Each structure stands twice: as structure tokens, then as C-alpha cells.
């Protein structure tokens, strides 16, 4: 989700004042998403479930919730936030689309044994890879072989969830390329390798999560039917890569993200529409090249069960999310200072919990601005290290915001871009993934929140 939302905060220091009730459509959309996914998962033959099966219906629902916000902004003559949100959405969906298309052309041939040890290895590799190719890139590269490895098993509902936890979120906290908030911090002046200072919290969270997963998966593995396990063992084939040329197109996407920044576009005189989207054009060109080298009807995409359904679902739902979250972000910006947030643990939880339901990139930037103010007004309490002097923020507060935004994007399906895509792909493969509310109450609250409390006590003690 490498959006140019940073431009909004750089170009517009005065936020738009909107009434608190304008956040109702955003809350309504989230509740609709949660309720409908719950019905679809638990009452699959009901009429609402059949309604929710259609991606077109999801788009209609998203647009209906968006309509009041569009009318409100139009009545105020405030078209700019809507236009900027549309630009953000375009960048967001182009990145996800490009990575989705390119990774769909890579096929890891083979079928490993679906043991807890193998699954643990998948997740551990994904946690490291997420820092090199981003959480979205790592998720799209590994989710299909991960699902294929476990397709003979029956007790698998937890597998996509832990994949989202580790690979799609917590893993990408060590480099700016890993997750959108960190990338925007890099654009704002945070040194590229500063995020390596987050290694100990990252290692603590990832290792704890992997231990929990291994115990959980071991218990579920023992429930499997003996014949299914024997079939899984008999079907073992070592992994072999097909469609490796797509790694070249993946590199084009990643280089576009790193090299084509808003600051450089401005320096090159390319910061106006339509040239300002040259990064997105490069990504789309890479996706087109992927289709040329790995055609839609080609072997690798056929073996990957590649369809446009998952990316279409994400694109349709996030149309509504990007529009309806405009008032929520504006209210946060205008009233954020009234939250009384001035301690590292408070920044960790406040930025994290809001990143669970809002785009974590602008949420990160908003709290970074608050942290800069807190640092400047409390010079005896917070010392600014030399490598952060140019952005005037303490290392403690920056670490808290960074970890909160990255880690807690795992709390809900909408907390980070790859989450919904992983769920959609797993659903398409026949996995019984938890619905929106079950994901939160069965997995996020009992598993992630205790880990985040541990991180608070170890690194942000009140």
C-alpha cells in the first residue's frame, strides 16, 4: 500500500474541519463488511450470503456507503480531499494489481509435506522476505505454494490467518520497503537503515508468534486423518521454480517504489498530473510484461489457479474504504492533539489501533507530526539523536509509531492491503477462512493483543 498520501500532508497543513457524524459511513461500511462476511461464512446458503458472493454487489454496497461523503464534500466545495483520495486509491490498487499479476506468473512446482515444521519454515522465510520485497510482494509470492502444500489437510482454518499475521504484516518492520508507513517515514527523512533499530521488538514479536503457531499447528496436525497424511507424504515433490522471468518484473516494481519518490518527481519537474503517476505507469508496464512472458492461459497461471477474483474483490471494497475514511482521517488530524498522547506506549497503541481500521500510511504520518510536537515541547524528556535531528523526533516515539502502524495492521482484514488478498486467494482455493468478526475475536484479540502487551512491557514500559 505505497500510496502518495504523503502529498496530502505535505501540501495541506490545514485540515478540513468536518463534523464527527461524517465518520458514520466509514463505521457503517466496516460493520456491513463484517456482518456480511460473517453470514457468508456461517450461513452459506442464505440469501444474503449469495448476495455477498458477487463482487459487483460488493462494489454497489461500497459506493452506497460512499455517496453521503461525496455529497458532503461536494456541498462544502471540498473536492480536493476527494481527488487526493482517488489518487491514493489509484496508486494503492496499481501496486497490488502489479504484484498480484506478476506473482501469479511464478509457480513453485512441487508439493512439500504439510508438517508443522515445513509450515513454520514457510512463515519464517516470509517474515524475512517481507523486508526485501514488501509485505504485499512476499504474500503474493508465498501464499499459493503455502496453500498447495497444505491442500491435503482438513484442519487448516488457522493457516491463512497466521500467514497474514507473519508475512503480510509483522514481518515487514525492518526496512522501509517492507511496509507503507516505513516507506513514508523514509520519504519524510528517516534514514533508510534506521528501521533496523526495530530488530529486537521485531524478533520478539515474530519469534513469539511463530512459537504459538507451531504449537497450534502441531495440535491441529494430530487431528488429521491418517489416510490424508499418507496421501500427503506420497505426494511429496521438491520445489522447483517456473516462470522465473517474473522476478525481473517484480524487481521493476520494487525499483519504481524506491526510486520514483515524490521528492524526486518534484526535482525532475514531473509532479503534475498525469506525469506524477510515472511510478504507477512503470508498475503497469511490468504487469503487462508479465502477461507477455506468462500468458493468462499459460501453464504457470493455470497451475496457480490464477483468476482476477481476489484483486477485484479488494479493488471494489477499498473504493468505499478510501472514500469513507476521508472524514475519519480529517477528524484525527484536527483533533488528534486532544487525545493526550505523549508517551511512547501511548503512541504505540494509538497509532496501532487506528491503523487496524484506517490506512496505516496516513495514520503513521499524523502521529509522526504529533510526535515531533511532543519532542520539541519536552526537550528534557526526549533527546533527539543526531541521525534524526533534521526531522526533530525522538527515537523512542518514532519506534513506537513505526511498530504500532506495522504490527497492528494485522488486527483486521482491512488493516493492510495484502490481508484481504490472502483471504480471497485462500477462499478461492477452498480454505475455510474465518469471517471478519471471527478473525478478530478468535485470533487477533487472544493472540496478537497479548504479544503487543509484551512488546509494550519490554520496550515501551509506561
* pLDDT digit string, tens, across residues 201-248: 999 999 999 999 999 999 999 998 888 788 877 777 887 888 999 999
Q: What are phi and psi of 239, to 5 degrees?
A: -75, 140
Residue 390 lies inside a defined structural domain of this protein? no
Residue 24 has pLDDT above 80, yes or no: yes
Is 420 part of a structural domain of the chain?
no
In a domain, 351, yes or no: no
Is the pLDDT at 417 greater than 90, yes or no? no
Judge whether residue 12 has pLDDT over 80.
no
Assign 11 a pLDDT band (cuts: 50, 70, 90): very low
Residue 99 lies in a domain: yes
- Residues 149-158: what's their mean pLDDT? 92
User: Considering the entire predicted model, what is its pTM?
Assistant: 0.79
What pLDDT, on a 0 to 100 scale, did the predictor assign at position 359?
67
* Number of compact structural domains in the chain: 1
pLDDT at position 258, please? 80
Residue 298 within any structural domain of the chain: yes
% the chain with pLDDT above 90: 44
Pair 431, 377: CB distance under 8 Å: no
- The residue ranking higher by pLDDT, 225 or 332, is 225
In a domain, 335, yes or no: yes
Residue 57 is assigned to a structural domain of this protein: yes
pLDDT (0 to 100) of residue 336: 63
Asked whether residue 424 is domain-assigned, the answer is no
Question: Mean pLDDT, to the nearest integer, of 448-457?
Answer: 97
Residue numbers of the domain that contains 102: 6-339
Amino acid at each position: 500500500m505505497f500510496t502518495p498520501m504523503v502529498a496530502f500532508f505535505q501540501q495541506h497543513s490545514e485540515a478540513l474541519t468536518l463534523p464527527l457524524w461524517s465518520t458514520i459511513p466509514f463505521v457503517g461500511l466496516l460493520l456491513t463488511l463484517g456482518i456480511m462476511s460473517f453470514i457468508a461464512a456461517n450461513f452459506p446458503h442464505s440469501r444474503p450470503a449469495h448476495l455477498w458472493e458477487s463482487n459487483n454487489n460488493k462494489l454497489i454496497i461500497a459506493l452506497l456507503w460512499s455517496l453521503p461523503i461525496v455529497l458532503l464534500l461536494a456541498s462544502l466545495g471540498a473536492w480536493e480531499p476527494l481527488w487526493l483520495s482517488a489518487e491514493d486509491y489509484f496508486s494503492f490498487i496499481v501496486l497490488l494489481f502489479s504484484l498480484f499479476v506478476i506473482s501469479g506468473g511464478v509457480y513453485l512446482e512441487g508439493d512439500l509435506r504439510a508438517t508443522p515444521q515445513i509450515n513454520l519454515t514457510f512463515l519464517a522465510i516470509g517474515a524475512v522476505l517481507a523486508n526485501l520485497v514488501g509485505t504485499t510482494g512476499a504474500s503474493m509470492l508465498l501464499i499459493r505454494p503455502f496453500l498447495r502444500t497444505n491442500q491435503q489437510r482438513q484442519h487448516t482454518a488457522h493457516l491463512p490467518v497466521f500467514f497474514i499475521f507473519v508475512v503480510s504484516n509483522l514481518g515487514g518492520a525492518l526496512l522501509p520497503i517492507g511496509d507503507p508507513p516505513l516507506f513514508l517515514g523514509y520519504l519524510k527523512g528517516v534514514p533508510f537503515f534506521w528501521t533496523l533499530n526495530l530488530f529486537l521488538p521485531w524478533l520478539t514479536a515474530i519469534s513469539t508468534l511463530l512459537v504459538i503457531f507451531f504449537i497450534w499447528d502441531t495440535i491441529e496436525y494430530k487431528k488429521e486423518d491418517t489416510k490424508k497424511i499418507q496421501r500427503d507424504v506420497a505426494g511429496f515433490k521438491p520445489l522447483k521454480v517456473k516462470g522465473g522471468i517474473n522476478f525481473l518484473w517484480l524487481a521493476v516494481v520494487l525499483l519504481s517504489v524506491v526510486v520514483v519518490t515524490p521528492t524526486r518527481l518534484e526535482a525532475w519537474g514531473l509532479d503534475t498530473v498525469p506525469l506524477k503517476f510515472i511510478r504507477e505507469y512503470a508498475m503497469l508496464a511490468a504487469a503487462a510484461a508479465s502477461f507477455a512472458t506468462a500468458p493468462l492461459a499459460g501453464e504457470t497461471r493455470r497451475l496457480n489457479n490464477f483468476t482476477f477474483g481476489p484483486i477485484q474483490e479488494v479493488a471494489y471494497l477499498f473504493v468505499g474504504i478510501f472514500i469513507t475514511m476521508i472524514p475519519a482521517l480529517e477528524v484525527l488530524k484536527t483533533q488528534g492533539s486532544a487525545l493526550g498522547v505523549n508517551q511512547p506506549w501511548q503512541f504505540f497503541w494509538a497509532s496501532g489501533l487506528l491503523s487496524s481500521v484506517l490506512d496505516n500510511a496516513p495514520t503513521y504520518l499524523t502521529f509522526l507530526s504529533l510526535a515531533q510536537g511532543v519532542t520539541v515541547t519536552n526537550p528534557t524528556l526526549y533527546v533527539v539523536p543526531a541521525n534524526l535531528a533534521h526531522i526533530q523526533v525522538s527515537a523512542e516515539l518514532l519506534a513506537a509509531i513505526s511498530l504500532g502502524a506495522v504490527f497492528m495492521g494485522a488486527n483486521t482484514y482491512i488493516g493492510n492491503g495484502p490481508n484481504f488478498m490472502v483471504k480471497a486467494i485462500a477462499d478461492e482455493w477452498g480454505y475455510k477462512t474465518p469471517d471478519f468478526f471471527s478473525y478478530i475475536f478468535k485470533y487477533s484479540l487472544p493472540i496478537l493483543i497479548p504479544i503487543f502487551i509484551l512488546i509494550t512491557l519490554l520496550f515501551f514500559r509506561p
